[in-house]
Protein backbone atom coordinates (compact mmCIF):
# COMPACT_ATOMS: atom_id res chain seq x y z
CA UNK A 1 0.00 0.00 0.00
CA UNK A 2 1.41 3.41 -0.97
CA UNK A 3 0.43 6.95 -1.89
CA UNK A 4 2.98 8.78 -4.02
CA UNK A 5 2.89 12.37 -5.18
CA UNK A 6 3.43 12.78 -8.92
CA UNK A 7 3.56 15.80 -11.21
CA UNK A 8 2.38 16.04 -14.81
CA UNK A 9 4.12 18.69 -16.92
CA UNK A 10 2.20 20.37 -19.75
CA UNK A 11 3.78 21.93 -22.89
CA UNK A 12 3.31 25.45 -21.47
CA UNK A 13 5.41 24.54 -18.45
CA UNK A 14 2.55 24.18 -15.97
CA UNK A 15 2.83 21.28 -13.53
CA UNK A 16 -0.29 19.58 -12.16
CA UNK A 17 -0.14 17.37 -9.05
CA UNK A 18 -1.78 13.99 -8.76
CA UNK A 19 -1.62 11.01 -6.43
CA UNK A 20 -0.48 7.57 -7.51
CA UNK A 21 -2.36 5.29 -5.10
CA UNK A 22 -1.62 1.58 -4.80
CA UNK A 23 -3.93 -0.37 -2.48
CA UNK A 24 -5.21 -3.96 -2.34
CA UNK A 25 -3.54 -4.87 -5.60
CA UNK A 26 -5.03 -1.95 -7.52
CA UNK A 27 -3.32 1.18 -8.79
CA UNK A 28 -5.42 4.32 -9.02
CA UNK A 29 -4.69 7.85 -10.06
CA UNK A 30 -6.41 10.79 -8.36
CA UNK A 31 -6.07 14.41 -9.41
CA UNK A 32 -5.64 17.07 -6.72
CA UNK A 33 -6.24 20.76 -7.23
CA UNK A 34 -2.62 21.93 -7.01
CA UNK A 35 -0.96 23.48 -10.07
CA UNK A 36 2.38 25.28 -10.44
CA UNK A 37 2.66 27.60 -13.41
CA UNK A 38 5.89 28.71 -15.01
CA UNK A 39 7.39 31.55 -12.95
CA UNK A 40 5.00 30.89 -10.03
CA UNK A 41 6.30 32.65 -6.91
CA UNK A 42 4.38 30.32 -4.56
CA UNK A 43 6.07 27.22 -5.93
CA UNK A 44 7.47 26.07 -2.57
CA UNK A 45 4.20 26.63 -0.71
CA UNK A 46 2.21 24.68 -3.32
CA UNK A 47 4.65 21.78 -3.15
CA UNK A 48 4.17 21.67 0.64
CA UNK A 49 0.38 21.75 0.15
CA UNK A 50 0.52 18.85 -2.31
CA UNK A 51 2.69 16.85 0.08
CA UNK A 52 0.28 17.56 2.96
CA UNK A 53 -2.60 16.20 0.84
CA UNK A 54 -0.54 13.10 -0.01
CA UNK A 55 0.21 12.53 3.71
CA UNK A 56 -3.46 12.92 4.67
CA UNK A 57 -4.56 10.41 2.01
CA UNK A 58 -1.94 7.94 3.18
CA UNK A 59 -3.04 8.27 6.81
CA UNK A 60 -6.68 7.82 5.88
CA UNK A 61 -5.83 4.69 3.94
CA UNK A 62 -4.08 3.28 6.97
CA UNK A 63 -7.14 4.01 9.10
CA UNK A 64 -9.57 2.60 6.50
CA UNK A 65 -11.25 5.98 6.21
CA UNK A 66 -10.56 6.76 2.57
CA UNK A 67 -13.06 5.45 0.05
CA UNK A 68 -11.55 5.84 -3.40
CA UNK A 69 -13.82 7.43 -5.98
CA UNK A 70 -12.52 7.69 -9.51
CA UNK A 71 -13.00 10.99 -11.30
CA UNK A 72 -14.76 9.19 -14.15
CA UNK A 73 -17.30 7.72 -11.72
CA UNK A 74 -17.99 11.12 -10.15
CA UNK A 75 -18.68 12.49 -13.63
CA UNK A 76 -21.14 9.67 -14.48
CA UNK A 77 -24.73 10.75 -15.21
CA UNK A 78 -26.95 9.83 -12.27
CA UNK A 79 -29.94 9.10 -14.53
CA UNK A 80 -27.83 6.80 -16.70
CA UNK A 81 -26.69 4.97 -13.57
CA UNK A 82 -30.33 4.76 -12.40
CA UNK A 83 -31.28 3.24 -15.77
CA UNK A 84 -28.44 0.74 -15.42
CA UNK A 85 -29.80 -0.09 -11.95
CA UNK A 86 -33.27 -0.73 -13.47
CA UNK A 87 -31.91 -2.85 -16.31
CA UNK A 88 -30.11 -5.15 -13.87
CA UNK A 89 -32.82 -5.23 -11.17
CA UNK A 90 -34.52 -8.63 -11.03
CA UNK A 91 -36.34 -8.63 -7.68
CA UNK A 92 -39.94 -7.86 -6.70
CA UNK A 93 -40.83 -4.16 -6.61
CA UNK A 94 -39.19 -3.06 -9.86
CA UNK A 95 -42.30 -1.10 -10.86
CA UNK A 96 -41.82 1.36 -7.99
CA UNK A 97 -38.17 1.88 -8.93
CA UNK A 98 -39.29 2.63 -12.49
CA UNK A 99 -41.89 5.10 -11.20
CA UNK A 100 -39.22 6.76 -9.03
CA UNK A 101 -36.90 7.08 -12.03
CA UNK A 102 -39.73 8.70 -14.00
CA UNK A 103 -40.50 11.10 -11.13
CA UNK A 104 -36.85 12.14 -10.86
CA UNK A 105 -36.77 12.97 -14.59
CA UNK A 106 -39.95 15.04 -14.16
CA UNK A 107 -38.40 16.76 -11.13
CA UNK A 108 -35.36 17.83 -13.18
CA UNK A 109 -37.68 19.36 -15.80
CA UNK A 110 -39.79 21.20 -13.20
CA UNK A 111 -36.92 22.37 -10.99
CA UNK A 112 -35.15 24.21 -13.77
CA UNK A 113 -31.97 24.78 -11.76
CA UNK A 114 -30.48 21.34 -12.32
CA UNK A 115 -28.29 20.09 -15.14
CA UNK A 116 -30.31 17.61 -17.24
CA UNK A 117 -27.20 15.42 -17.34
CA UNK A 118 -26.80 15.57 -13.56
CA UNK A 119 -23.59 13.84 -12.45
CA UNK A 120 -22.86 12.18 -9.12
CA UNK A 121 -20.59 15.11 -8.29
CA UNK A 122 -23.60 17.43 -8.71
CA UNK A 123 -25.93 15.22 -6.65
CA UNK A 124 -25.76 17.39 -3.53
CA UNK A 125 -27.87 17.24 -0.32
CA UNK A 126 -29.71 20.33 -1.60
CA UNK A 127 -30.76 18.51 -4.80
CA UNK A 128 -31.96 15.54 -2.73
CA UNK A 129 -33.96 17.85 -0.44
CA UNK A 130 -35.61 19.51 -3.43
CA UNK A 131 -36.52 16.10 -4.89
CA UNK A 132 -38.03 15.09 -1.54
CA UNK A 133 -40.12 18.29 -1.44
CA UNK A 134 -41.17 17.75 -5.06
CA UNK A 135 -42.48 14.25 -4.29
CA UNK A 136 -44.41 15.34 -1.21
CA UNK A 137 -45.68 18.73 -2.36
CA UNK A 138 -45.67 19.07 -6.16
CA UNK A 139 -45.94 15.67 -7.86
CA UNK A 140 -49.63 15.18 -7.11
CA UNK A 141 -48.93 11.96 -5.17
CA UNK A 142 -50.82 10.87 -2.09
CA UNK A 143 -50.85 8.39 0.77
CA UNK A 144 -47.57 6.53 1.25
CA UNK A 145 -46.53 6.90 -2.41
CA UNK A 146 -44.11 9.87 -1.91
CA UNK A 147 -42.46 8.01 0.99
CA UNK A 148 -42.20 4.80 -1.07
CA UNK A 149 -40.61 6.60 -4.03
CA UNK A 150 -38.09 8.48 -1.89
CA UNK A 151 -37.17 5.22 -0.16
CA UNK A 152 -36.43 3.69 -3.59
CA UNK A 153 -34.35 6.77 -4.44
CA UNK A 154 -32.34 6.21 -1.24
CA UNK A 155 -31.77 2.55 -2.16
CA UNK A 156 -30.27 3.57 -5.52
CA UNK A 157 -28.00 6.13 -3.78
CA UNK A 158 -26.84 3.53 -1.26
CA UNK A 159 -25.97 1.10 -4.05
CA UNK A 160 -23.99 3.84 -5.80
CA UNK A 161 -22.06 4.47 -2.57
CA UNK A 162 -21.23 0.77 -2.25
CA UNK A 163 -20.01 0.80 -5.85
CA UNK A 164 -17.92 3.92 -5.10
CA UNK A 165 -19.65 6.38 -7.40
CA UNK A 166 -20.02 8.75 -4.43
CA UNK A 167 -17.56 9.83 -1.77
CA UNK A 168 -20.14 11.07 0.76
CA UNK A 169 -23.79 10.19 1.25
CA UNK A 170 -25.87 13.24 0.18
CA UNK A 171 -28.90 11.87 2.08
CA UNK A 172 -27.37 11.84 5.57
CA UNK A 173 -29.28 14.92 6.73
CA UNK A 174 -32.29 14.60 4.41
CA UNK A 175 -35.07 13.28 6.61
CA UNK A 176 -38.48 11.91 5.70
CA UNK A 177 -41.18 10.75 8.06
CA UNK A 178 -43.19 7.66 7.23
CA UNK A 179 -46.88 8.61 7.12
CA UNK A 180 -48.93 7.28 9.98
CA UNK A 181 -52.10 5.27 9.64
CA UNK A 182 -54.50 8.21 9.24
CA UNK A 183 -56.93 6.30 7.03
CA UNK A 184 -59.87 7.20 9.28
CA UNK A 185 -59.34 10.91 8.56
CA UNK A 186 -59.56 10.19 4.84
CA UNK A 187 -62.80 8.20 4.77
CA UNK A 188 -66.03 9.96 3.86
CA UNK A 189 -69.31 8.54 5.09
CA UNK A 190 -72.37 8.34 2.83
CA UNK A 191 -73.81 11.29 4.79
CA UNK A 192 -70.68 13.39 4.15
CA UNK A 193 -70.72 12.56 0.44
CA UNK A 194 -74.38 13.68 0.37
CA UNK A 195 -73.35 16.96 2.05
CA UNK A 196 -70.77 17.51 -0.68
CA UNK A 197 -73.35 16.72 -3.37
CA UNK A 198 -75.65 19.38 -1.86
CA UNK A 199 -72.87 22.01 -1.60
CA UNK A 200 -71.67 24.42 -4.28
CA UNK A 201 -68.13 23.78 -5.60
CA UNK A 202 -66.10 26.42 -7.46
CA UNK A 203 -65.41 23.95 -10.28
CA UNK A 204 -68.34 21.78 -11.36
CA UNK A 205 -66.09 19.24 -13.12
CA UNK A 206 -64.02 18.75 -9.95
CA UNK A 207 -67.26 18.15 -8.04
CA UNK A 208 -68.60 15.65 -10.59
CA UNK A 209 -65.28 13.83 -10.93
CA UNK A 210 -64.82 13.54 -7.16
CA UNK A 211 -68.31 12.15 -6.51
CA UNK A 212 -67.96 9.84 -9.53
CA UNK A 213 -64.71 8.55 -7.99
CA UNK A 214 -66.48 7.90 -4.68
CA UNK A 215 -68.76 5.46 -6.51
CA UNK A 216 -66.24 3.91 -8.94
CA UNK A 217 -62.87 4.03 -7.13
CA UNK A 218 -61.01 5.74 -9.98
CA UNK A 219 -58.01 7.93 -9.16
CA UNK A 220 -57.30 11.50 -10.18
CA UNK A 221 -55.23 10.48 -13.23
CA UNK A 222 -57.95 8.11 -14.45
CA UNK A 223 -60.57 10.85 -14.02
CA UNK A 224 -58.39 13.27 -15.97
CA UNK A 225 -57.96 10.82 -18.87
CA UNK A 226 -61.44 9.26 -18.82
CA UNK A 227 -63.22 9.19 -22.21
CA UNK A 228 -66.90 8.64 -22.85
CA UNK A 229 -66.06 5.47 -24.78
CA UNK A 230 -64.66 4.07 -21.48
CA UNK A 231 -68.23 4.16 -20.12
CA UNK A 232 -70.05 2.31 -22.89
CA UNK A 233 -73.14 0.23 -22.05
CA UNK A 234 -73.17 1.33 -18.42
CA UNK A 235 -69.77 -0.26 -17.75
CA UNK A 236 -66.48 1.26 -16.62
CA UNK A 237 -63.56 -0.08 -18.67
CA UNK A 238 -60.18 1.48 -17.87
CA UNK A 239 -56.60 0.69 -16.91
CA UNK A 240 -55.10 2.08 -13.73
CA UNK A 241 -52.49 4.73 -14.58
CA UNK A 242 -50.30 3.55 -11.70
CA UNK A 243 -49.90 -0.12 -12.63
CA UNK A 244 -51.77 -0.71 -15.94
CA UNK A 245 -54.19 -3.11 -14.19
CA UNK A 246 -57.46 -3.48 -16.09
CA UNK A 247 -60.62 -2.46 -14.22
CA UNK A 248 -64.05 -3.48 -15.50
CA UNK A 249 -67.12 -2.81 -13.38
CA UNK A 250 -70.76 -1.89 -13.63
CA UNK A 251 -71.53 1.78 -13.09
CA UNK A 252 -73.77 2.29 -10.03
CA UNK A 253 -76.87 4.48 -10.36
CA UNK A 254 -75.30 7.45 -8.54
CA UNK A 255 -72.27 7.45 -10.84
CA UNK A 256 -74.53 7.49 -13.92
CA UNK A 257 -76.61 10.29 -12.38
CA UNK A 258 -73.48 12.39 -11.83
CA UNK A 259 -72.44 12.07 -15.48
CA UNK A 260 -75.60 13.48 -17.01
CA UNK A 261 -75.81 13.43 -20.81
CA UNK A 262 -73.05 11.45 -22.56
CA UNK A 263 -70.69 13.17 -24.97
CA UNK A 264 -68.80 11.94 -28.05
CA UNK A 265 -66.78 8.70 -27.58
CA UNK A 266 -63.31 10.30 -27.82
CA UNK A 267 -64.11 13.37 -25.72
CA UNK A 268 -62.96 13.68 -22.10
CA UNK A 269 -65.69 13.09 -19.54
CA UNK A 270 -64.24 15.71 -17.17
CA UNK A 271 -62.23 18.86 -17.86
CA UNK A 272 -60.03 19.14 -14.80
CA UNK A 273 -57.60 21.93 -13.81
CA UNK A 274 -54.08 21.40 -12.42
CA UNK A 275 -53.43 19.17 -9.39
CA UNK A 276 -52.88 22.26 -7.23
CA UNK A 277 -56.16 23.81 -8.38
CA UNK A 278 -58.03 20.55 -7.68
CA UNK A 279 -56.69 20.47 -4.11
CA UNK A 280 -57.79 24.08 -3.54
CA UNK A 281 -61.24 23.41 -5.04
CA UNK A 282 -61.78 20.36 -2.83
CA UNK A 283 -60.59 22.17 0.31
CA UNK A 284 -62.92 25.15 -0.25
CA UNK A 285 -65.78 22.80 -1.17
CA UNK A 286 -65.49 20.56 1.89
CA UNK A 287 -65.13 23.63 4.16
CA UNK A 288 -68.40 25.03 2.78
CA UNK A 289 -70.01 21.63 3.42
CA UNK A 290 -68.83 21.79 7.05
CA UNK A 291 -66.59 18.71 6.77
CA UNK A 292 -63.59 18.94 9.12
CA UNK A 293 -61.55 16.09 7.63
CA UNK A 294 -58.46 16.65 5.50
CA UNK A 295 -59.70 15.53 2.08
CA UNK A 296 -57.81 14.96 -1.16
CA UNK A 297 -59.00 13.36 -4.40
CA UNK A 298 -57.47 10.09 -3.23
CA UNK A 299 -59.98 10.01 -0.35
CA UNK A 300 -62.68 9.20 -2.90
CA UNK A 301 -60.92 5.86 -3.57
CA UNK A 302 -60.64 5.14 0.15
CA UNK A 303 -64.33 5.92 0.65
CA UNK A 304 -65.32 3.71 -2.31
CA UNK A 305 -63.45 0.73 -0.82
CA UNK A 306 -64.95 1.16 2.66
CA UNK A 307 -68.51 1.58 1.36
CA UNK A 308 -68.21 -1.68 -0.59
CA UNK A 309 -66.74 -3.56 2.38
CA UNK A 310 -69.54 -2.32 4.61
CA UNK A 311 -72.02 -3.52 2.00
CA UNK A 312 -70.59 -7.05 2.17
CA UNK A 313 -68.10 -7.19 -0.72
CA UNK A 314 -65.14 -9.49 -0.04
CA UNK A 315 -61.46 -8.50 -0.11
CA UNK A 316 -60.75 -10.04 -3.53
CA UNK A 317 -63.69 -8.20 -5.10
CA UNK A 318 -62.53 -4.88 -3.65
CA UNK A 319 -59.02 -5.56 -4.92
CA UNK A 320 -60.35 -6.11 -8.46
CA UNK A 321 -62.58 -3.03 -8.33
CA UNK A 322 -59.67 -0.87 -7.11
CA UNK A 323 -57.24 -2.20 -9.71
CA UNK A 324 -54.78 -3.50 -7.09
CA UNK A 325 -52.17 -6.01 -8.25
CA UNK A 326 -52.97 -8.24 -5.26
CA UNK A 327 -54.99 -8.19 -2.03
CA UNK A 328 -51.98 -7.13 0.10
CA UNK A 329 -52.73 -3.54 -0.95
CA UNK A 330 -56.37 -3.91 0.06
CA UNK A 331 -55.88 -5.32 3.57
CA UNK A 332 -55.63 -1.84 5.16
CA UNK A 333 -59.32 -1.31 4.36
CA UNK A 334 -60.25 -4.58 6.04
CA UNK A 335 -58.22 -3.53 9.10
CA UNK A 336 -60.19 -0.29 9.20
CA UNK A 337 -63.50 -2.20 9.19
CA UNK A 338 -62.23 -4.46 12.00
CA UNK A 339 -61.33 -1.39 14.07
CA UNK A 340 -64.82 0.00 13.54
CA UNK A 341 -66.34 -3.32 14.68
CA UNK A 342 -64.21 -3.34 17.81
CA UNK A 343 -65.24 0.23 18.65
CA UNK A 344 -68.90 -0.72 18.17
CA UNK A 345 -68.52 -3.62 20.60
CA UNK A 346 -66.64 -1.46 23.10
CA UNK A 347 -69.50 1.06 23.05
CA UNK A 348 -72.10 -1.54 24.09
CA UNK A 349 -73.79 -0.65 27.42
CA UNK A 350 -72.38 -2.18 30.60
CA UNK A 351 -75.16 -4.06 32.45
CA UNK A 352 -74.81 -5.03 36.11
CA UNK A 353 -75.44 -8.73 36.65
CA UNK A 354 -76.77 -9.78 40.06
CA distance 109 to 100: 14
If one counts every other C-beta atom within 10 angstroms of the C-beta of residue 11, the result is 5
pLDDT tens digits, one per residue of 165-191: 887 788 888 888 766 555 555 789 999
Q: Identify which of 109, 65, 103 has the alpha carbon closest to the alpha carbon of residue 242.
A: 103
Q: Domain ranges for the chain, please list them.
A: 2-67, 73-162, 184-345
Q: Which CATH class is domain 184-345?
A: mainly alpha
Alpha helix segments (H runs only) across 134-175: 145-162
Q: Is the pLDDT of residue 258 over 90?
A: yes
Model-level pTM?
Answer: 0.53
Per-chain mean pLDDT for the chain: 85
CB of 3 closer than 8 Å to CB of 59: no
- What pLDDT is attached to residue 346? 65
The pLDDT tens digits for 135-161 are 887 787 776 788 889 999 999 999 998
The predicted model gives 234-257 an average pLDDT of: 90
Q: How far is CA 258 from CA 205, 244, 262, in A?
A: 10, 26, 11
Q: What is the mean pLDDT of residues 36-54?
A: 89
User: Can you tell me the distance from the alpha carbon of 102 to that of 13, in angstroms, rounded to the nearest whole number?
Assistant: 48
Amino acid sequence: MSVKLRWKTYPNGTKSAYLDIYDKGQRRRKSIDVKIKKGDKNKREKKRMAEAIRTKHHEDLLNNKWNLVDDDKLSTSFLKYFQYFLDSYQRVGKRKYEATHKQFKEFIKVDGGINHNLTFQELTPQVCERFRDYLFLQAGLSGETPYDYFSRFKAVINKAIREKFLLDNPLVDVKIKKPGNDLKKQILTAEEIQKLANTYCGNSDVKKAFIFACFTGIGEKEARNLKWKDLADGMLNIRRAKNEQKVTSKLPATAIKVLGEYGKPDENVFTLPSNTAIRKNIKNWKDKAGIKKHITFYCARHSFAIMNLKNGANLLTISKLMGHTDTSHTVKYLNYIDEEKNKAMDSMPDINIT
